[in-house]
Structure 1
Amino acid sequence: MKVLARVLGSVLCALPAALLAGCGGKAGKTIEVRIAEPRSVRPDAGAQVDWRRVATAEDRTRLRNWRQAWVDALAKAQRSAKAAVVTGDATLFDPDRALSGATPPAGDYRCRVVKLGANGTAMHDVTTYPPVDCKIDEEGGVSSLYKVTGAQRPVGLIFPDSSARAIFLGTMVLGDETKPLSYGQDSNRDMAGYIERVGDKRWRLVLPYPRFESLLDVVEIVPAPKR
């Protein structure tokens, strides 16, 4: 199930700042990501896509401020009644832990969201959600990540950045929606974060200053059990 199967190949070298992402609804559905205003430039084999040419200015700012997001979120989380969620898993919640192999290989995964630092009065400073199914596909030069199930389903692309960090840019699909908004079309749906490997077959997606609910989202990504 390829997210970019039909349209990404010819424009990787010249991506504009508007990425249109497709949603992974039910298993077996075709998923499509389109690029706004594509340019007919084909990358050389093995060329690396620069995520900075895709990200909006607002998302580049959020990514630059990733450390402050950790500081702000952890300060609130460590004072909360659920501080043990953070203190009990130093591997996942250590801002500086990043091993080589940042991008998970293609396959089926389980994704568990932990929201840190309440942004508004309706949330707690630590909020955890049960794991849901998600999937990573290879797209040629980049990978795609999307949640298959859940009320909030991020879908987007993973761009190479360094051996210890990859960049995620995407958009949020809500409820029973079957198609996402375009990346860059609605800043309230845009998502920007980074992916790191923190253990053996264990990764995390970190979303600094998401639009609603929290100051920092940490998404644990682990391989799905074999059926």
Structure 2
Amino acid sequence: MKRAVVALMTAATLAGCGGRREPETVAGARAPVADWRRVATLSDRDRLRTWRTVWLDALGRARASGATRAIDAQGALFNPDHGLPDPMPPAGDYRCRVFKLGAKAKGWRDYVAYPAYTCRVSGEGPVRMFEKTAGSQRPAGRFFPLRAARAVFLGTLAIGDEARWLPYGRDSARDMAGFVDRIGDDRWRIALPQPAFDSTLDIIELVPAR
């Protein structure tokens, strides 16, 4: 699995329109591109551009479904305007909880909260790696710097018992794009507008594993 994650991270430097280009180099060594705009696909740029409209719609539908108490109990987690300085989670193991808001199809629930799973952040530089290590849907990818109170996530998704992730940019149904915010002391989130499956907004909460 580690080899698969390394392959994913290298592939994160692929060009956005389905083509490939060589990773950026620093002093002759391969290094990750720090500018997310040089990595993201066109469709993922569109997802990020419309994030706020998608977020408010999904949140409104979740509240209308009767989940207001559960949403309010999470404090700042679902507030699109809440973000603190230093959005990059430090390297380490985390407990991740996935919340899905705004169902993609009739008859599906507009608010679903899943039990916590293990996830991991690695790296100390401006670009860091993220991997969700358990569960039926497992994102992996990179955190890219954006501004003082927000970072960008670009990655891809493994499903079920798949042992490998497809390279980012290979399959738009697996590509993921979102924003990373620090929302409290030792609490972060990854907000993913318009994921391919189930919902119109996924939010992954990260808190350090104890």
Aligned with residue 189 of structure 1, among 156, 174, 178: 174
Counterparts in 2 of 1:17 and 1:47: CA distance versus 1, 3 Å: closer
The residue type equivalent to 1:73 in the other structure is A
CA distance in 1 between counterparts of 2:33 and 2:39 reads 13
Q: Does 1:169 align with 2:154?
A: yes
- Counterpart position of 1:56: 41
Kept after mapping to 2: 8 A contact 1:63/1:208: yes
Match runs of 1:175-214 below 5 Å: 175-214=160-199
For residues 179 and 88 of structure 1, do their structure 2 counterparts lie closer, same or farther at Cα, with a shift above 3 Å needed?
same
How far off its partner does 1:194 sit? 0.8
**Change in 2 beyond 3 A, CA 1:221/1:52:** same
CA contact (8 A) 2:23 2:32 kept: no
Looking at structure 1, the residues matched to 95 and 167 of structure 2 have their Cα atoms a distance apart, in angstroms, of 25
Structure 2 counterparts to residues 74-223 of structure 1, below 5 A: 74-138=59-123, 140-223=125-208
SS in 2 for 1:70: helix
1:182 CA displacement: 1.5
Scaled by the length of structure 1, what TM-score is found?
Answer: 0.81
Task: Find the counterpart in structure 1 of residue 56 from structure 2.
Answer: 71
Deviations 1:81-121 (A, max 9, x none): 22211122231111100000100000000100010111112
What is the distance in 2 between the residues matched to 1:181 and 1:68?
29
How large is the Cα RMSD of the aligned pairs?
Answer: 2.8
Q: Conserved in 1, the CA contact under 8 Å of 2:141 and 2:153?
A: yes
Do residues 42 (structure 1) and 42 (structure 2) align?
no
Unmatched segments (≥5 aa) in structure 1:
19-35
Question: Matched residue of 2:89: which SS?
Answer: coil
What percentage of aligned pairs have identical amino acids? Answer: 47
Offset from partner CA, 1:29-88 (integer Å, 9 cap, x none): xxxxxxx531563279x9971101100000001001111011111110111122211122
| Structure 1 residue runs of 4 or more that deviate by more than 3 Å after TM superposition | 1-5
C-alpha contact 2:15 2:21 (8 A) present in aligned 1: no
Name the one with the larger helix percent. 2
Structure 2: where are the runs of 5+ without partners?
A: none
The one-letter amino acid paired with 2:104 is N
